[in-house]
Structure 1
């Protein structure tokens, strides 16, 4: 009897000691990568600053999880909050039970025991406990249309399928299933068994864990869709958008629901305007066809997907912005939103919704910052087909150059020594005026006007600044530079210096930087007509000569300047 009591007590103590270990089966997943090489590289980077970093292949095939753990559930959640707050892991890190983990591909050397995870052995259809192809087909026929579409979406997410998500398991879907089976060491039947389908879907759903994907209905915008409610929350309306920014201040994720009345002209205008926003980077695919458009943007910081469609006099769609280092999750969220998007008939956001009153700004569209050039200068037309002369600094290091109305241009020629650049528009232009140059030497003290855009795009026409010719040479005796008594801003550089008859006397050059020479206010320099003609001739442009000498009325000078000058934007 005594031995029975001792044995029973030992069993009780052994069992009592197990829960802590048994509960240590939760992991903090901090990233997932489509290749082992990429995942290993990132795991090594995390391991350099975090303890207990592990890597496991996810059951669906190509994806590899980078995790920390294992922990108890409460500890895993605490670690998640702490590491996100300290900026050591992405905001989309989430806690998982690791059921989809398979082979380990990385360990940082932690002393914690790893879970019993092994590579699934190659199986064939006759192995005990597996379904035969006929049994798998019978199980497949019982799937709902929604479940069949999810299988296709999972195959697409895993990189095996690029066809339509229609629930029809045709030849394309069968090939994708066979490729998935081959990649996961299963018999290639082209029909997933229940076990295989479960593994595929588990990995597919794991990418969205922690986001709180749930259906929302916005009755003001007239839109319903699934969105990541744990990460984004409604903030305000500001037509034509409903704003859903990130819950965390340092998270760049954001959702805009697009809703407004309109027609095809309105749709085209919206397509153009959206591409001017900072949240829609200029790099990326975009398409406008008939009654719909899509825009993708990508930069080193963010990824952006926008789509909208015109139906029954209403334009509706969405823009999803996401951190650039979370592309896999971004694509999944976009796919979920596309599949669930529904326009509520007869409801659009009021055009005055969220009217900002005195808080309005020309640099904002519905509360969103409009992307601005990195450098803003002035140029002016020198040929009938719209080629533009400007200062060399206007195009230094530019990835993209724009003229008035966003017309794109390229730098045809640049002479850093003369400080001049010649631009060619990428689409045909027919300027209302082109420069006529005064060849004769002007008198010292001649009154002049500088035409420029010192305030960037804030004004629709160039500003005219009065000044006078102070010297026919530069301060160091340069023969090809004139000095003027003239107050200018950086945006004026590249603009024309006009005499009273409207003839061009030079191209305004940027003021020297403080490191080069500190000059008093009101000192400006311009490349003279001789330097301009030499530069244009060398690049196949015949400079037009000015013949008129009679001073023009002020109104005519203003009209000439508006027709002649153009803003030049440099986008880096």
Structure 2
């Protein structure tokens, strides 16, 4: 449709007749609201003369240069459009569509008289002319290679393009343009018009502005990176991290990683990072010789961690964000990883706030903790572990010594048999006693009394008080021994090192027993359980009394911390 025909249609639709005028204008933009139109008029006025603003009959607001004669208007249009000063979809218009003048404020040019007010609902919806595919392709050809790359980056940001940013508009780029057109309500041609390119780039620029992406130079940490500084603000230095907290309730956090070290340091950091609450368990993990990547997702947060060993340093970052921001953060992650520059220097351990440290914190960050920790012990050379069924009930996952994953392969009689998901070869494992034991004989329990607060099990000594429970339970033994909850599931040993039973958390209904009254499930019950589940328990044939030091080593070698996680 020609522009003259379009103008004629507008005149017809308004049902208002206007006299003919010889003035011509170069219309450069039409905006839906007055405030935006005034701002754009002010911007054009800083660069051009003869900027005027009129209300259109459609209710929109037009910015036009003039007035000129028709010949002058055509010449001005070619000059300014060719120089790229005004949009390529600018065109020459007459007075027909224009009513009240709003710019310059208080200004007036010759124009037709204002028509009588027409109810807004009686006016046709605004119609915007755009380029034909042929015109769009011709104008596209005028773009520089960098401008074409910027379009590909913008298409990539909105999830339409996933190929190389090369400034070449091949089939992949055309398909992504078509997807963008479809999503935004345009006819699908695979060729963006000048106006569509502007909408795409404005939306992209707006998205970046909302994230506040900017470069951060951390001289203390020895790194430079582009990150979403509009969403986070500096919090503190806590070796080996520079911590940025969320800003204005954004839900986004950033850790910049910086420490002196080599590949061994990198591998250690890889293990440590996985204990943090900000790195949820679910997610892909990968590590190669010089770098690692950790992802984590749960219903509350997602996180992405990247670090690499370079030039005697380990540098990287962690980005934490709400699941609702996953789409935007996927591109932010790429930008952060691509922009990371390692410079000289690293954080010093002296920057850490010692007062903020605790067993549940690492550099001021919460360390992920199991909901329950108990003891267990190896029962063969392949790493099978015996513990109480209570210790592993309703667990989302189970770990051995906080590191190795394990599955429950059998339960019964208050016992649970665990099998590690990776092959383990324990230093030692239990040999079960073949005798019932002697009353008042000394016994010892190896267990993680403080549920993992200490790196190794402790030994608790006591005596065998009875060969049955207080209620006459034949499967139990009663001990005089002040153990803690963390010891439950640990091996009860005699002085030869033979395992005479497993410490259990046995309740006597309605009774508050002395702290030293404890119970153990007999070794014969353990052997029966293992046999019923296809395993042959090793029997002890030792009669030699061990020194306390040797007994402690044996107990430590066979005992394992069992962690039950959500």
Q: TM tier, shorter chain?
A: 0.7 to 0.9
In structure 1, the partner of 2:298 is: 299
Provide the C-alpha distance between the structure 2 equivalents of 1:520 and 1:115, rounded to a whole number of angstroms: 86
In structure 1, the partner of 2:397 is: 400
2:557 pairs with 1:566: no
2:173 pairs with 1:173: yes
Report matched runs for 1:99-118 at 5 Å.
none
Number of equivalent positions: 451
Contact 1:137/1:191 (<8 A) preserved = no
Report matched runs for 1:390-539 at 5 Å.
390-404=387-401, 406-415=403-412, 418-512=413-507, 518-539=512-533
Superposed displacement of residue 474, structure 1: 2.0
In structure 2, the partner of 1:389 is: 386
* CA pair 188-289 structure 1, distance change in 2 beyond 3 A: farther
Q: TM-score, normalised by structure 2?
A: 0.73
Provide the C-alpha distance between the structure 1 equivalents of 2:534 and 2:328, rounded to a whole number of angstroms: 52
Q: TM-score, normalised by structure 1?
A: 0.72
Provide the C-alpha distance between the structure 2 equivalents of 1:522 and 1:120, rounded to a whole number of angstroms: 87
Report matched runs for 1:51-66 at 5 Å.
none
Contact 2:136/2:194 (<8 A) preserved = no
Higher-Rg structure is 2
Contact 1:208/1:333 (<8 A) preserved = no
- Give a deviation string over 1:287-327, Cα, whole Å, max 9, x none: 22342222111112111111123333332221011123433
Provide the C-alpha distance between the structure 1 equivalents of 2:125 and 2:267, rounded to a whole number of angstroms: 52
In structure 1, the partner of 2:341 is: 343
- Give a deviation string over 1:474-523, Cα, whole Å, max 9, x none: 2322211222122222211110001111111111112539x875433222
2:535 pairs with 1:541: yes
* CA pair 137-270 structure 1, distance change in 2 beyond 3 A: farther
Superposed displacement of residue 464, structure 1: 0.5
Unaligned runs of 5+ in 2: 1-32, 38-119
* CA pair 440-144 structure 1, distance change in 2 beyond 3 A: same
Contact 2:133/2:191 (<8 A) preserved = no
* CA pair 180-466 structure 1, distance change in 2 beyond 3 A: same
* CA pair 400-148 structure 1, distance change in 2 beyond 3 A: farther
Superposed CA RMSD in Å reads 3.0
Provide the C-alpha distance between the structure 1 equivalents of 2:531 and 2:380, rounded to a whole number of angstroms: 12
- Give a deviation string over 1:225-266, Cα, whole Å, max 9, x none: 333333311122222211111245x76431111122333222
Contact 2:130/2:193 (<8 A) preserved = no
Unaligned runs of 5+ in 1: 1-20, 26-113, 122-126
Superposed displacement of residue 343, structure 1: 0.9
Provide the C-alpha distance between the structure 1 equivalents of 2:125 and 2:479, rounded to a whole number of angstroms: 78
In structure 2, the partner of 1:130 is: 131
In structure 2, the partner of 1:163 is: 163
Moved more, 551-560 or 268-277: 268-277
* CA pair 141-545 structure 1, distance change in 2 beyond 3 A: farther
Provide the C-alpha distance between the structure 2 equivalents of 1:516 and 1:172, rounded to a whole number of angstroms: 74
